[in-house]
Amino acid sequence: MTGPPDNFSANPPAFFNKLEGSATPTTLTFELTDGFDNAEGWSARFSGVCIKTNATCCGFDDVEDNCLALTPTPTPMPVDQFIRWNTGDGSFGVAENWEPTQVPTDTDIVIFDREPPVTVSITSETALSRQAKIERGAVTFAGGAYELSGTSMTPGMRSLEVGTSSSSMVQCNLVSGHAMGTFHSAIGRDAIASGLMVVAGEQVSWLNLGRLSVGLEGTGGLNIDGGAGVIIIEETRIGDEAGSSGLVTVRSTGLSNRKGVSEQLSYLETGKLFVGLSGDGDLTIEDAAVRSADVVIGSETGSSGVVNVRQSESRWDMDYLLVGVHGNGTLLIEDGAIVSVDSGIGTFIDNGSHVTVTSTSENLPSELETQPLFISDNSFLTIQENALVVSTGSIVGFSGKGTVLIERSDHEVSWLLDDLDLGSVIEDESGETEIAGTGILELHGDPLVMVSGDLEINQGSTLRGTGEVEVIGDASNEGTIAPGVAGIQDIAKGTVGGGPRVLILDGNLTMNGGEILAQVDGTEEGQFDQLIVNGVADFKDSTIRIRLGDGYTPQPGVSFPVVDVTGEFNMENVTVESETLGFGFDLLLEGGELVAVTKETNRFDVQPNPRDGVVDSRDLFEWLRAIKEDEEPGDVLFDFAQFWVK
Of 356, 388, 422, which residue constitutes the final position of a domain?
356
Same domain, 130 and 12: no
Cα–Cα distance for residue pair 453/431, rounded to 1 Å:
27
- Residue 68: the pLDDT is 42
Same domain, 202 and 135: yes
Cα–Cα distance for residue pair 369/346, rounded to 1 Å:
10
In a domain, 544, yes or no: no
Percent of the chain at pLDDT above 70?
A: 77
Same domain, 61 and 111: no
Same domain, 226 and 269: yes
Same domain, 140 and 282: yes
Cα–Cα distance for residue pair 533/595, rounded to 1 Å:
14
Of 322-326, 581-585, 604-608, least confident by mean pLDDT is: 604-608
Cα–Cα distance for residue pair 233/292, rounded to 1 Å:
10
Same domain, 149 and 205: yes
- Residue 582 — very low, low, confident or very high, per pLDDT cuts 50/70/90? confident
Cα–Cα distance for residue pair 298/499, rounded to 1 Å:
40
More confident call, 74 vs 160:
160
In a domain, 298, yes or no: yes
In a domain, 396, yes or no: no
In a domain, 598, yes or no: no
Same domain, 40 and 101: no
- List all residues 6 or more positions away from 431 whose beta carbon is below 8 Å from its beta carbon: none
Of 330, 356, 382, which residue constitutes the final position of a domain?
356
Q: For residue range 332-385, list pLDDT tens digits in order.
A: 999 999 999 998 899 999 999 999 999 999 999 999 999 999 999 999 999 999
Of 42-46, 111-115, 257-261, 580-584, least confident by mean pLDDT is: 42-46
In a domain, 248, yes or no: yes
DSSP label at 619?
H
Contact in structure between 270 and 292 (CB atoms under 8 Å): yes
User: What range defines the domain where residue 37 resides?
Assistant: 5-70
Q: For residue range 199-255, list pLDDT tens digits in order.
A: 999 999 999 999 999 999 999 999 999 999 999 999 999 999 999 999 999 999 976
Q: Does the pLDDT of residue 428 top 90, yes or no?
A: no
Same domain, 124 and 230: yes
- Residue 264: the pLDDT is 85
Q: Does the pLDDT of residue 489 top 70, yes or no?
A: no
In a domain, 628, yes or no: yes
125-153 average pLDDT score: 96
Q: For residue range 534-565, list pLDDT tens digits in order.
A: 999 999 999 999 999 888 988 899 999 999 99
In a domain, 623, yes or no: yes
Cα–Cα distance for residue pair 465/280, rounded to 1 Å:
36
Same domain, 60 and 97: no
In a domain, 561, yes or no: no
Same domain, 125 and 31: no
Of 338, 356, 374, which residue constitutes the final position of a domain?
356
Cα–Cα distance for residue pair 406/337, rounded to 1 Å:
18
Q: For residue range 300-312, list pLDDT tens digits in order.
A: 999 999 999 999 9
Same domain, 333 and 187: yes
Direct distance between the N- and C-terminal alpha carbons of the chain, in angstroms, rounded to an integer? 95
Same domain, 54 and 126: no
Alpha-carbon distances of 577 from 272, 511, 542, rounded to whole Å = 54, 16, 11
- Residue 27: the pLDDT is 38
Short-list 411, 434, 412, 435, CA closest to 422 = 435
- Residue 603 — very low, low, confident or very high, per pLDDT cuts 50/70/90? low
- Rounded to two decimals, the pTM is 0.81
Q: Does the pLDDT of residue 584 top 50, yes or no?
A: yes
Q: How many domains does the chain have?
A: 3
